[in-house]
Copies of this chain bind each other. A is one copy, B any other.
């Protein structure tokens, strides 16, 4: 399956969240990640993020797709993320 993850973590926890998300997905914008992921790893990723998040302050949204066939992606401006790791 393919996943888009967008999050908004308090700055106290965002470095931890970034580290977790990057274990499973590609970093494509400040708080956006994409990638192919197995069902098992998707579950792990959700648990790991839920373990560090404060649900009163932080937010996580996952969009999941069986295939990349039915959507398009358009990007403008700076390409952030990728494989570089800048904090």
Contact = CB atoms under 8 A, between A and B. Distances in A.
Contacts of A31: 6, 8, 30-31
Contacts of A49: 76
A29 interface: yes
A56 B60 CA distance: 27
Contacts of A63: 4, 63, 71-73
Interface string A47-87: 00110011111111111111101111111111110000000
B76 A59 contact: yes
A44 interface: no
Given A6-B29, A8-B29, A70-B70, A77 B60 contact: yes
Interface string A1-43: 0001011100000000000000000001111100000000000
Interface of A: 4, 6-8, 28-32, 46, 49-50, 53-67, 69-80
